[in-house]
């Protein structure tokens, strides 16, 4: 074949079309499609693992509360302690938590503080906390009860004062009240967010035992108007089981959606397409 005939033949479209960014774009799209299944799989696995871990965390919270409830029931079944047996150090106090106690002493009403944003029966109010001066000269912080908040003035507390004179008290031993988030950790007024026994002892120069006492309604019940329907630690354990069920359901749902959209659905569509392309059975000729 002569050179002239070779030159006269038209070049193929692929050979004559110059390389452009469209080729690069098509190549990137192809590589993106090849990476997409792995990214989807990775995302599904991560979501499944995170939600499953949250489910196990809720079950662990439920187990902790059940264990605390069992420990409380065991401690409360023991006979009440007296002043002579009341712990003087933190290690001894931890062993006595939730144990019933009977004490005699006199209130120090001028040292009363109120912890705000505390709930009882789904209502927000204050915990009234007053030191009780014991007969041996030491004192103990007593969580006397709950009082509702004034809806017009949140800084106003109308809770009745602690009665004067010697009193007999039935309660259970507890650590410092649970801590809530606070903006001013140095607040030392009558109304405050949190209270820690050792810090309060230094602040008020009181010989406090390293524990608190949650006052209970004895017979006769104290006539001070305070509510003492204290929440039980395991009373809301069922909500943790509900949350765990939701998290585990989300974990299974993420895996199920991945299998449906990335496995079963594409293969079913492929089988349908192959069935549509295959020739049907031959017709009988007359």
By the 8 A CB rule, do 39 and 217 touch? no
Mean pLDDT (whole number) for 221-232: 81
10 vs 69: CA distance, rounded Å: 90
Q: What is the mean pLDDT of the chain?
A: 81
Q: Does residue 200 carry a pLDDT above 80? A: yes
Average pLDDT over residues 86-95: 93
Q: What angle do CA 262, 265, 268 make, to 5 degrees?
A: 130
Give the pLDDT band (50/70/90) at residue 1: very low
Predicted local distance difference test score (pLDDT) of residue 54:
95
158's CB contacts (< 8 A; 6+ apart) are 147, 150
**Cα dist. 233→194, 217, 236, 237 in Å?**
19, 19, 7, 8
Q: What is the rounded CA–CA span in Å between residue 70 and residue 234?
A: 9
- Predicted pLDDT of residue 269: 72
For tokens 């003035």, the residue is: 153
Identify which has the larger pLDDT, 279 or 52.
Answer: 52
Domain borders along the chain are: 34-77+238-266, 84-217
Which of the listed ranges 8-17, 116-125, 243-252 does the model predict with the highest average pLDDT?
Answer: 243-252
With cut-offs at 50, 70 and 90, classify the pLDDT of residue 170.
very high
In 3D space, the residue among 218, 213, 179 whose CA is nearest the CA of residue 99 turns out to be: 213
Q: Note the pLDDT tens digit of each residue in 128-166.
A: 999 999 999 999 999 999 998 877 777 777 767 777 778
Q: Does 216 or 29 have the greater pLDDT score?
A: 216
DSSP state of 88: S
Whether the per-residue pLDDT at 258 is higher than 90: the answer is no
- Tell me which residue has tokens 């290690």: 91
pLDDT confidence tier of residue 80, bands split at 50, 70 and 90: very high
Contact 52, 247 (CB under 8 A): yes
Mean pLDDT of 108-127: 91
């Amino acid at each position: 074949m002569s050179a002239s005939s070779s030159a006269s033949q038209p070049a193929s479209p692929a050979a004559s079309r110059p390389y452009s960014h469209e080729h690069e774009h098509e190549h990137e799209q192809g590589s993106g499609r090849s990476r997409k299944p792995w990214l989807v799989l990775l995302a599904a696995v991560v979501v499944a693992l995170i939600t499953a871990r949250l489910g196990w965390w809720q079950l662990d919270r439920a187990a902790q509360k059940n264990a605390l409830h069992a420990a409380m029931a065991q401690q409360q079944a023991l006979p009440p302690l007296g002043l002579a047996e009341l712990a003087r150090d933190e290690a001894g106090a931890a062993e006595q938590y939730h144990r019933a106690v009977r004490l005699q002493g006199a209130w120090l009403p001028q040292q009363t503080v109120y912890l705000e944003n505390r709930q009882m029966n789904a209502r927000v109010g204050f915990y009234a906390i007053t030191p009780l001066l014991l007969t041996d000269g030491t004192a103990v912080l007593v969580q006397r009860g709950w009082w509702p908040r004034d809806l017009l003035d949140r800084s106003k507390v109308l809770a009745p004062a602690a009665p004067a004179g010697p009193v007999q008290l039935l309660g259970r031993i507890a650590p410092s009240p649970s801590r809530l988030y606070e903006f001013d950790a140095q607040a030392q007024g009558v109304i405050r967010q949190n209270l820690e026994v050792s810090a309060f002892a230094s602040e008020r120069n009181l010989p406090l035992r390293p524990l608190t006492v949650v006052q209970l309604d004895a017979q006769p019940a104290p006539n001070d108007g305070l509510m003492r329907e204290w929440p039980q630690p395991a009373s809301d354990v069922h909500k943790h089981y509900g949350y765990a069920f939701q998290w585990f359901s989300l974990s299974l749902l993420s895996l199920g959606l991945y299998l449906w959209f990335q496995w079963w659905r594409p293969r079913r569509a492929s089988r349908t397409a192959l069935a549509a392309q295959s020739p049907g059975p031959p017709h009988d000729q007359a």
